[in-house]
Structure 1
Amino acid sequence: MATKHEEQIDGFKFEQRHGKERVRVGRVWRSGENGRHVFVEWNVSISLLSDCINAYVRADNSDIVATDTMKNTVYVKAKECSEQVSVEEFAIILAKHFTTFYQQVTTAIIKIVEKPWERISIDGQPHDHGFKLGSERHTTEVILNKNGALRVTSGVDGLALLKTTQSGFEGFIRDQNTILPETRERMLATEVSASWRYYFESLSSVSNKSLGFTEKYLNVKKVLVDTFFGPPKEGVYSPSVQATLNYMAKAVLGRFPEVSSIQLRMPNIHFLPVNLSSKANPVIVKFEDDVYLPTDEPHGSIEASLSRIQSKM
């Protein structure tokens, strides 16, 4: 699927696209289930591939969709959504508008990050209009061509996970620069960034109100979390971040046939054992899998993707 607009100018290959970044919009729906208000906050980025070469080579702006217009369109479309929509559905709505309303636009790329506002509960009762800010963010990227070719990717970013045991790291390459000891008992902490692509390949294959993107997002996130931790009592052993990443990716593809591929980025966030000593007191603090120094950097960087092999039959 094309994600750049290419032309030739004076014997050179020329690529261009333009858009509007970080358009922030909040939307309240006041007729939610049981009369409760629903609130979302989105950060929208728009990128258009369009036939506006004259703006670059002839100072002729007549084919340009102004980026300020793109910003305003976000608010107009948010207003037009009289019923609650998912972040993926809103991205599709925007992409469809830009590729159908403007003759010059050949492809729209819409990226949205949803801020994690969560409904609060007071004395165990969900509040009708009260929200608190959570942690991980729901993301999406929609790429739509004028011919209807569609790519929908959902994701989660900033999903911080930690377990205090059932993790180790052994058998790795050792050389003159290696000081890391092997272990079968360590802290495992990470901040998962995951994105998964759905099988939808055309706008016509998507029917509104039957997508359930928000429910799928919550279910995929649950599978990722459950696979990372294992059962509540015994947990599950992690021989490496790499192995755990693969377990998580395979669990998602095994559980959701509508997902064609998943990419995971899982930094290994280190909690360093604390041992303190001095000449006068050789054992001020002796590490016994109990006291750690939390660190942000440097950290290990582990990422991989898993995709279904398409049958040619």
Structure 2
Amino acid sequence: MPPTLGQNQYGKAETRVVRVTREGPVHHVRDLNVSVALSGDLAAVHLAGSNAAVLPTDTMKNTVYAFAREHGIASPEAFGERLARHFVDTQPAIHRARVRIAEYAWDRVPTPGEGAHSFVRAGGETRTAQVTCDDTGVRTLGGLTGLTVMNTTDSEFRGFVRDRFTTLPEADDRLLATDVTAVWRYAAAPEDWDATHARVRGRLLGAFAGTYSRSLQQTLFAMGTAVIENVPQIDEIRLSLPNKHHFLVDLEPFGMSNAGPDGAVYIAADRPYGLIEATVLRDGAPSLIPVDLTAP
């Protein structure tokens, strides 16, 4: 007996789509990871190599972006149902569509003034500490990693060096996101370690939300400065900030605009990414934190 084709499916996995909805100065974010799998009368593509019934997986990806822009994302469930029905209703060979969605939650960070456009990723943050004791005394480092933050406006990147390999366009208003890794050195033990850690975290978030960013370097220095100026027990803080790039999706091939006061749809890029690192010191304090934050 010859082999027979059993259950099969195909689709586009892990399409990252970030939908920013703007209601004046108040912004809302839905951040999804969408995976589509389709099945139906697809034996011919497996057995004879015929693509006559095959909707390209790239089209599935584009549909996710287009639907996010055109219909918005009221909820993962509603968005997934809309997608699944679309693929079954519009493709004669497709009898079953499965859409799996993971949503990454963002909590709002208070923004100075009337705006509301700063967010911190819910969950995933890790508090760190290192204590070294030898014959010279005790040295304590506090820290955190995986603190993911995002501003949906008040960030630009212009006036940079160009050479013959430069293709990056200048940005007057961009989405700025990063995963904060910070290590700070205590010059003196605080009365309450937990309260001081929370205070540092709050100053980092406040400076990120309150700084109009012309570069991630500028934002980093503002964050470190906010800690040094407001937490007297700390003499030094080292920050490592990867630039988590979000690029506007080109929807013009579908006759759709991805610009306007109501919001936009972004691709959340994985890699490569820019990595910005620096130390901020109290005036006159020595720099003692190792440069490599992965092995402090």
**Counterpart position of 1:222:** 202
Return the offset for 1:151: 0.7
1:148 Cα deviation after fit = 5.3
The DSSP-based 3-state class of the residue aligned with 1:144 is strand
Residue in structure 1 matching 2:279, options 305, 308, 311: 305
TM-score w.r.t. the length of structure 2 is 0.52
Tell me which residue corresponds to 2:123.
Answer: 134
Larger RCO: 1 or 2 (CA < 8 Å, sep 6+): 2
For residues 188 and 286 of structure 1, what CA distance do their matches in structure 2 show?
18
**AA of the residue aligned to 1:294:** A
Aligned counterparts of 1:311 and 1:212: Cα–Cα separation in 2: 23
Is the CA contact (8 Å cut-off) linking 1:168 and 1:183 kept in structure 2?
Answer: yes
Q: Which runs of 4+ in 1 moved over 6 A?
A: none
What is the number of equivalent residue pairs in this alignment? 163
- 1:263 corresponds to which letter in structure 2? R
Contact 2:236 2:285 in 1 (8 A): no
Unpaired segments ≥5 residues, structure 2: 1-121, 287-296
Q: Is the 8 A contact 2:244 2:269 kept in 1?
A: yes
Contact persistence 1:168–1:240 (CA under 8 A) = yes
Residue 234 of structure 2 is matched in structure 1 by 259
Paired residue type of 2:128: T
What's the offset of the Cα at 1:184? Answer: 1.7
Tell me the distance in 1 between the aligned counterparts of 2:265 and 2:285.
52
Tell me which amino acid in the other structure corresponds to 1:297.
R
> 1:276 maps to what in 2?
251
> Which among 170, 179, 189 is matched to residue 191 of structure 1?
179
- Name the Cα RMSD after superposition: 2.1
Give me the whole-angstrom Cα distance separating, in 1, the residues matched to 2:227 and 2:285: 20
Following superposition, the deviation at residue 310 of structure 1 comes to: 2.8
- Map 1:165-184; keep pairs closer than 5 Å: 165-184=153-172
State the TM-score, normalizing by the size of structure 1: 0.49
> Is contact 2:129-2:140 (8 Å) kept?
yes
Matched to 1:137, the amino acid is T
1:251-298 residue CA offsets vs partner (Å, 9 max, x unmatched): 1000011101000001100111111344xx5x3454456111111211
Q: Is the 8 A contact 1:275 1:287 kept in 2?
A: no
Q: 1:284 to 1:310 in 2, by over 3 A?
A: closer
8 Å contact kept, 1:270–1:295: yes
